[in-house]
Structure 1
Amino acid sequence: MEPLTEAVLAGAGPQELAAAPLPDDYLAAHLRIEDVDMFAGMDDKDVRKSLRVGRVPMPELAPDEVLVAVMASSINYNTVWSAMFEPLPTFGFLERLAATGGHARRHALPYHVLGSDGAGVVVRAGDGVRRWKAGDHVVISPSYVDDQEPATHGDGMLGAEQRVWGFETNFGGLAHYTVARASQLAPKPAHLTWEEAASLTLCAITAYRMLISPQGARIKLGDLVLVWGAAGGLGAFAVQMVKAAGGVPIGVVSSDRKAQVVRRLGCDVVIDRNEIGLGGAPPATPEETIAAGKRLGKAIRAATGEDPHVVFDYVGRETFGLSTFVVRRGGAVVTCGSSTGYVHEYDNRYLWMNLKRVIGSHAGNLNEMWECLRLFARGTLVPTLAAHYPLAEVAEATRLVQTNQHLGKVGVLCLAPEPGLGVTDPALRARVGEERLNLLRA
């Protein structure tokens, strides 16, 4: 074991961490550029064939960056996209970043270290970093922004150079070490384990912007919110946020097992899509979409007496036409990502004539991250971790998400030798309660 890794695992202080030499290379989950065409002509692009775990060179730090020893990370659907090389190989993203010059040139390499979630210990800070030092316990936002771009100062997500770390940048979080900008960091909630904290950053912040932030739907007391995939990584956070905001979460799930999970999260109304004829192939024609939308709307009204104010949609092609149909007059569909396809079809009559809105949303800015994590730090929201894997089995963890066999978030232990470590406020953890913190692992 390298001296720096030993020092991190021993809980060494800032001086010891700074004195320990950096390793020349480190273990990381990555893709290789020579594999880009490996799935040509295949129907099942099995990510276990493309994801590798091996040692890669340690990158140099830019002045505004930190090196973090990653204790844990988690799987997001962007890792699935990367490992399928769809819709485009992410090596193109790295080349575009490198073209901006300076330290960005480091990112264009024949390998891509993945991962857009992370929790760990700062072990180095660049000369331009003021707020963070070696030894700090942090979580890492996936929002990688250019602070010299004017639009960034209005909203970090609006800058043309905004990227998703570990997807559109190299040196991501599914590794023993990662490089991040200081503007991506927030303190780790002290009562959470490493794997719990690492499961928050991408999905929870995305859900917060979509639902709570002024940049999203900005839900209010009493709003009915339809949540597609309510037992998934994004959906399980959305259910909690709607409930905490005083709204009425209406969860759509695909099995009784998932229905039980979302009820434990506080979902007031649960609709099993199989029971209303939405469990098989998605609607193939506009007429089928309208007929399916009527069935879904009827089920919602039977349970609540109303149509939803907001629809939370990250599923994409299979659900978007239904979302725009069932949301009430004057309501909003807020969308991010499209795990079932990016080309959405819907009947615009139901949108324009009923004055509905579509809100596009993407990740979250640094302020939204801090506001969201504050709710976790207070115990208002809880992690949705359902399973964890060692880094050596990251391909199996990613396959679980690829085939939609997971609940909530799937964690990955990186440097953490076992689950359950990293808690520095056991009193708060006791107040929140182990049962509540493990709702999806029960």
Structure 2
Amino acid sequence: MDALSEAVLAGAPAEDLANTPLPATYTAAHLRTEDVGIFEGVADKDVRKSLHVGEVPMPELAPDEVLVAVMASAINYNTVWSATFEPLPTFAFLTRLGRQGGFAARHDLPYHVVGSDGAGVVVRTGAAVSRWGVGDHVVVSCVQVDDHEPATHADAMLGSEQRIWGYETNFGGLAHFAVVKASQLLSKPGHLTWEEAAGTLLTAATSYRMLISDKGARIKLGDVVLIWGATGGLGAFAVQLVKQAGGIPVGVVSSREKARALRALGCDVVIDRSELGVGTAVTGDEMIEQGKRLGRAIRQAVGEDPSVVFDYVGRATFGISVFVVRRGGTVVTCGSTTGYQHEYDNRYLWMHSKRIVGSHAANLMEQAECNRLFGLGKLVPVLSEVHPLDDVGEAARLVQLNQHIGKVGVLCLAPEEGLGVTDPELRSAIGESALNPLRQ
């Protein structure tokens, strides 16, 4: 292990960290350009074949950037997309970014360090960074923006130069070190361990924007909210947010095991779609029939149709979502894990004055508001298991096959679980079981 990593793990003071030389290389989960065609004509695009863990060169730091020693990270579905080179190889993003020249040119490399979550310790700051200092404990937002772009100052997610770190940029979080913009950082909640904190920001803030923000559905007290994939990373945080907002979460899952986990999260209504026979990629009359079955089940449980549907599943569920949401209701979507081409019956949209809202990640203010809820103990992590960085392929494979619950964590520099807590009093007040409802 390099001297800087050893100093971080030893809890060295900021001055010592700043004076310890950077290593020339670091360990990272990465993709390689020579692998881009390996899945052509292959039915099972197994991400374990394309995700490599090994040494990569340490990049130079731009003036507005920070180098973070990553203690832990997490798997998101964009890492699965990256590792299957679909819907297109992410090297195309890196090439496009590199054409800007200057420091952007660093990103266009024959390898791509992936990962869009992270928690760790600041070990270097660029010359233009004043808000953050060496030794700070931070969590990393997945959103990189160009703060010279006017649209960014209205809503960062509307900027044409907005990118997802570790997916549309290089030097991501599934590594011992990560390069991030200073505007991506928030303070780590002190009562959380490294792995708990690392698995929160991307999915929780995405769910926050979808449900709570004025850019999303803006749920209110008493709203019935249908949540597809309610034990996934996005869905499990959506359940918590609906509960905290005074709404009624109706969670849909695909197995009895996931139904048990959803009840542990405190979801008001749990629907196992495998028992009900809904949520398959169908169209036309069968799609409407599935919507009717789901609608009856929801009305039987809560007495009314949902006012909001939270949908990131996509093709397999979207037509049902549009059908089942109440008159004047809102379907909010942030992804399509089962396919991007959606089919729905437009009569039920226009004649019933429903809305479809597209939502992507979250701006820094939304992320800060969401992170504050973790700091207050109002939201808790949804980790189900944790893997070492060397096993990142196995961790990503679980997500690829939808065999996971909640978030799958990855230890990077942290040698074991349970480290990084600086507020043991709050942790004790909340309770270990309450902090980890999906690990029971």
Judge same fold: TM > 0.5, yes or no. Answer: yes
SS of 1:363's partner is: coil
What residue is the counterpart of 2:81 in the other structure? 81
Distance in 2 of aligned mates of 1:432 and 1:108: 45
Contact 2:27–2:175 (CA<8 Å) still a contact in 1? yes
Q: Which runs of 5+ in 1 are unaligned?
A: none
SS of 2:120's partner is: strand
SS of 1:44's partner is: coil
Higher deviation after alignment, 168-177 or 95-104: 95-104
Distance in 2 of aligned mates of 1:101 and 1:428: 46
Counterparts of residues 22-171 of structure 1 (less than 5 Å):
22-171=22-171
Contact 2:184–2:364 (CA<8 Å) still a contact in 1? yes
Distance in 1 of aligned mates of 2:276 and 2:5: 53
What residue is the counterpart of 1:199 in the other structure? 199
For these two proteins, the number of residue pairs brought into alignment is 440
- Runs (4 or more) in structure 1 with deviation over 2 Å come to none
What residue is the counterpart of 1:243 in the other structure? 243
Cα deviations by residue, 1:285-318 (Å, 9 ceiling, x for unpaired): 3111011111111111111110000000000110
Is 2:302 aligned against 1:295? no
- The one-letter code of the counterpart of 1:313 is D
- The one-letter code of the counterpart of 1:114 is V
Cα deviations by residue, 1:105-156 (Å, 9 ceiling, x for unpaired): 0000000000000000000000000100100000000011000000000001
Distance in 2 of aligned mates of 1:4 and 1:149: 35
Distance in 1 of aligned mates of 2:70 and 2:248: 37
1:282 Cα deviation (Å)?
2.6
SS of 1:157's partner is: helix
Cα deviations by residue, 1:218-237 (Å, 9 ceiling, x for unpaired): 10000000000001110000
Counterparts of residues 350-365 of structure 1 (less than 5 Å):
350-365=348-363
SS of 1:180's partner is: strand
Distance in 2 of aligned mates of 1:291 and 1:428: 48
1:255 Cα deviation (Å)?
1.0
What residue is the counterpart of 1:381 in the other structure? 379
Contact 2:278–2:291 (CA<8 Å) still a contact in 1? no
Distance in 2 of aligned mates of 1:30 and 1:408: 23
- The one-letter code of the counterpart of 1:244 is Q
Counterparts of residues 246-265 of structure 1 (less than 5 Å):
246-265=246-265
What residue is the counterpart of 1:440 in the other structure? 438
1:38 Cα deviation (Å)?
0.3
What residue is the counterpart of 2:396 in the other structure? 398
Cα deviations by residue, 1:61-111 (Å, 9 ceiling, x for unpaired): 000000000000000000000000000000000011111221000000000
Which residue, out of 411, 414, 428, partners 1:413? 411
Distance in 2 of aligned mates of 1:206 and 1:278: 25
Which residue, out of 370, 383, 390, partners 1:372? 370
What residue is the counterpart of 2:177 in the other structure? 177
Distance in 2 of aligned mates of 1:337 and 1:125: 34
Distance in 1 of aligned mates of 2:138 and 2:196: 12
Distance in 2 of aligned mates of 1:278 and 1:327: 15
- The one-letter code of the counterpart of 2:281 is P
Distance in 2 of aligned mates of 1:198 and 1:141: 10
CA RMSD of superposed structures (Å): 0.7
Cα deviations by residue, 1:311-368 (Å, 9 ceiling, x for unpaired): 0000011000000000000000000011001111111110011000000000000101
Which residue, out of 340, 361, 373, partners 2:338? 340
Higher deviation after alignment, 269-278 or 160-169: 269-278
- The one-letter code of the counterpart of 2:127 is D
State TM-score, norm by structure 1. 0.99
- The one-letter code of the counterpart of 1:81 is W
What residue is the counterpart of 1:218 in the other structure? 218
SS of 2:437's partner is: coil
- The one-letter code of the counterpart of 1:161 is E
- The one-letter code of the counterpart of 1:78 is N
1:278 Cα deviation (Å)?
2.3
Distance in 1 of aligned mates of 2:275 and 2:86: 32
Distance in 2 of aligned mates of 1:13 and 1:361: 41
What residue is the counterpart of 1:231 in the other structure? 231
What residue is the counterpart of 1:14 in the other structure? 14
- The one-letter code of the counterpart of 1:163 is R
- The one-letter code of the counterpart of 1:341 is G
